[in-house]
Structure 1
Amino acid sequence: MRHLSMMQLIMGLGAAFMLAGVAVMLAGCGSDDTIAQQSPPQPFVAPAVFQAAGPNIASIQNTVDQYRVALGATDNGNTAGPLADGRREINWDGAGGAATNTAPAPTPFEGFRNNRGARFTTPGTGFVQATAQGLTDHFANQSYITIFQPFSNQRLFGSDGSTVTNVEFFAPIGANVPPGTLADKPATTKGFGAVFTDVDQPNGSGPNHSNGDRSPSTFIEYFGTDGGLLFKSDVPASPGDKSVSFLGIVFTDARIAKVKIVSGDTVPVRGAGPNDDATHDIVMMDDFLYGEPQQIP
């Protein structure tokens, strides 16, 4: 890991700005990090930032493992909460982690709201959980099997008809609840991270400032309870097909109420591709990791 010194503290309605240096822990490549503060102002502590990218799972495994420890050593699984510590994980691989079927999902996607405390929405038509072969069939593009690889087991996750995935948090109520019951206590978490596959941009080959020939295609924004931006960071890229990337942050307290993920710069559309090439970066996601959701008082 190396240190990045940057914090932008935004106060009022934009009439005054203050810049101060903060230490942010990094693993892997540098990124365009933006730090803001909720209004009304809260005491600010810079998050620890974990990121890595490379051609295979081993390239990011150590960083992901370190991030797990930073979130909380215990994976709380489907246990009803909120618990005092630990983390939740979603790997898209079903019970037992062996699912290989293609599973389209609507928006909002409530499948993990009760047991893991996470709700997913997209401006697109929905989501899909599928293997690389399943994505090839779902999006009707034979090249997809050659460019994506999972981090855990078989299935990946992607939005359909959009590059945007929104995540909101709720206090988990467990898996054994009456049909139709949904967790209804909004929550915050101290950290959220995600694995991505085939993030190609920026590739550093051109003169577009520090971003090479194109701007970053993939990034995560973190928001507080008032909707204000807390932090934004780009997901590191790695050249070649089937690369994997990871980005996650951890605050000292549970202050993240919503996460916005932008995965790639080109929209995947069911039955219509498009191709991943020099001018289109198609990106899929895998494991989501986040601190135990804490109910908002």
Structure 2
Amino acid sequence: MLITRLLTPLLAIGIRLSAPLSALAIAVYSSSGPNAASIQGSVDGFRNDLGANNGVGGSFTSGRREINWDGVPAGFSDPNNLPGNFFNSNSARGAVFETPGSAFRVSANSGSATPVRFGNINPSFPTSFSVFSSQKLFTAIDSNIVDVRFFVPGTNQPGAVRGFGSVFTDVDLAGPTTIEFFDFHNNSLGKQTVLNTPGVTSLSFLGVSLEQAIINRVRITAGNAALSALDGFDFVAMDDFIYGEPQAVPAPAAVLLLGSGLAVLVWARRKSLLPE
């Protein structure tokens, strides 16, 4: 049957199927370990799931976008703030950031006057944090929460994606670091926990793909506290963001039709995947 044909290739490349996010989840790519090699397989699997990298600008009907922070110029890197709309305005990739905190920050390159990997916030961070793609990391300031909203790249037209994933560094505790997914009516589609590896310089990856492009926003909770000079917290920074090509939000009539179709898909998945 259709569901079997869809899921068999996913199992063949080692993807963990999951219902914890919601019944709409097609695949969850989740891994953690001491170095980049530990998560490379799940990152590559997620990239292949979403399709070709569309780079910067334009609008496409399929594929993915990526943000690895390393091209952010010095003027928008630590100790300077990164504008929340940088990746929809300066570098049009259809992602806008929001936070309950005060700002966003991309870490400095080596050789600058500012310590790498947010060492100006806490001198232990350069030896606690690692990178997946050299050499910059990303964080909110005064909060451990980042909301990512999607738009048709370079426009103010709301968009939706069918998958989102992020690399994290130094996830020590099981539980606090999560990604929650929301549709274009701000309904939660579910929350998934990022895997942890105790010890410094670890890397984790979590990516979730759906059958349809219905994710309008994701909320990332990184660790259990905002980055600071204090001790005793699970401080977590972020590296690469990978997400599906943002699609224009359907008109209300189309949304109703899409909802009906997804209801049928959910019913079919439950009948085929869950025990009687």
* Residue of structure 2 in register with 1:283 after alignment: 236
Residue 191 in structure 1 maps to residue 170 in structure 2: no
* Aligned residue type for 1:80: G
Show the counterpart of 1:51.
30
Q: CA offset at residue 266 of structure 1?
A: 1.6
Which runs of structure 1 show a deviation greater than 2 angstroms over 4 or more consecutive aligned residues?
24-35, 44-47, 97-106, 131-138
**Would you say the 8 A contact 1:100–1:130 is kept in 2?**
no
Q: Distance in 2 between matches of 1:161 and 1:199?
A: 18
Match of 1:227 among 186, 208, 218: 186
In 1: Cα distance, 2:224 partner to 2:163 partner: 25
Q: Percent identity?
A: 40
Q: 1:192 to 1:136 in 2, by over 3 A?
A: closer
Residue 153 (str. 1) matches residue 109 (str. 2): no
How far is 1:131 from its partner? 4.5
Q: Which residue of 54, 66, 69 corresponds with 2:48? A: 69
Bigger fraction of residues in helix? 2
| Alignment partner, residue 257 of structure 1 | 216
Gaps of at least 5 residues in structure 2 are 1-9, 110-114, 251-276
Deviations 1:126-177 (A, max 9, x none): 11100483344431x211111001110100001110010000000013xxxx
SS at match of 2:164: strand
Q: Distance in 1 between matches of 2:171 and 2:17?
A: 14
How far apart in 1 are the matches of 2:227 and 2:28?
28
TM-score by length of 2: 0.77
In the alignment, structure 1 segments of 5+ residues that lack a partner are: 1-23, 36-43, 174-182, 203-215
Query: What is the match of residue 3 of structure 1?
Result: none
Distance 1:159 1:262, change over 3 A: same
Letter aligned with residue 239 of structure 2? D
Give me the whole-angstrom Cα distance separating, in 2, the residues matched to 1:193 and 1:152: 15
Q: Could you tell me which amino acid in structure 2 is paired with residue 288 of structure 1?
A: F
Is 1:236 matched up with 2:195?
Answer: yes
Structure 1 residue aligned with 2:173, among 201, 205, 210?
201
Question: 3-state SS of the aligned residue for 2:208?
Answer: strand
Counterparts of 1:53 and 1:28 in 2: how far apart (Å)? 14
Question: RMSD across aligned C-alpha pairs, in angstroms?
Answer: 2.7
* Residue of structure 1 equivalent to 2:248: 295
Hey, what's the Cα distance between the residues in 2 that align with 1:29 and 1:252?
16
2:81, 2:242 → 1: CA distance?
20
Bigger strand fraction: 1
Judge conservation of contact 1:31–1:236 (CA < 8 Å) in 2.
Answer: no
TM-score normalized by the length of structure 1: 0.72
1:125 aligned residue: 102
CA distance in 2, matches of 1:99, 1:54: 33
Per the TM alignment, residue 99 of structure 1 is displaced from its structure 2 partner at its CA by: 10
**Residues 156 and 118 of structure 1: CA distance in aligned 2, closer, same or farther (over 3 Å):** same
Is the Cα contact below 8 Å between 1:98 and 1:153 reproduced in 2?
Answer: no
2:106–2:138 contact (8 Å) kept in structure 1: yes
